[in-house]
């Protein structure tokens, strides 16, 4: 059997990776396949999260042992087999590659291929460049315009008036956000 996963980024529209891997492989094997397909540095902190259908985090699988209370189950990539936590097609996962900024890939189990086996994971599709692995906060700070440089055109309309926002409630803003 083979799991076929699709990885996407909310930062880079044309980025896509497809990884095929045995369900008997560990999350560490999957992690290494992702690193190889993106060229990311292996000397960073990484985590997988098993998610529900709404992308809410449910179970974390860490690269190294973390101090957790004895009441919680602790999963380590090296010791956790994929099929132990992933059972169904369309299962959703997050792969956090920048822990400090909570940047991640969205992963979905697109297909369970029966009747075939893989000895090692493969990247079967690679489209676009991945997002930069880490944010350079010093460079970002240099690029931010100071508030003293703001002028009347800052909001894109010389006639911008904060009173134009009166009457908008949270529901209206949520509706607008859903459209974009």
| 92-98 β-sheet, strand order | 75-76, 57-62, 47-51, 92-98, 103-113, 2-9, 16-21, 122-127
Give the integer Cα–Cα distance in Å for 89 and 23.
12
Distance from the Cα of residue 124 to its chain's centroid: 19
Per-residue pLDDT for the chain (180 aa), expressed as one digit of tens each? 999 999 999 999 999 999 999 999 999 999 999 999 999 999 999 999 999 999 999 999 999 887 656 566 789 999 999 999 999 999 999 999 998 889 999 999 999 999 999 999 999 999 999 999 987 766 556 656 444 455 555 455 555 555 555 554 444 445 544 543
């Amino acid at each position: 059997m083979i799991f076929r996963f699709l990885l996407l980024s909310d930062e880079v529209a044309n980025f896509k990776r497809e990884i095929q891997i045995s369900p008997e492989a560990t999350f560490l094997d999957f992690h290494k396949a992702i690193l190889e397909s993106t060229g990311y540095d292996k000397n960073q902190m990484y985590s997988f999260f098993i998610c529900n259908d709404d992308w809410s985090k449910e179970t974390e699988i860490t690269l190294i042992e973390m101090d957790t209370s004895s009441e919680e189950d602790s999963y380590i990539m090296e010791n956790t087999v994929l099929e132990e936590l992933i059972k169904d097609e369309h299962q959703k996962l997050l792969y956090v590659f920048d822990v400090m900024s909570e940047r991640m890939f969205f992963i979905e189990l697109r297909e369970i291929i029966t009747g075939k086996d893989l000895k090692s994971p493969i990247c079967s599709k690679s489209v676009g460049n991945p997002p930069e692995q880490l944010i350079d906060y010093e460079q970002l700070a240099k690029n931010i315009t100071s508030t003293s440089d703001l002028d009347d055109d800052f909001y894109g309309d010389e006639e911008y008036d904060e009173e134009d926002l009166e009457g908008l409630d949270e529901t209206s803003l949520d509706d607008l956000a859903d459209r974009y």
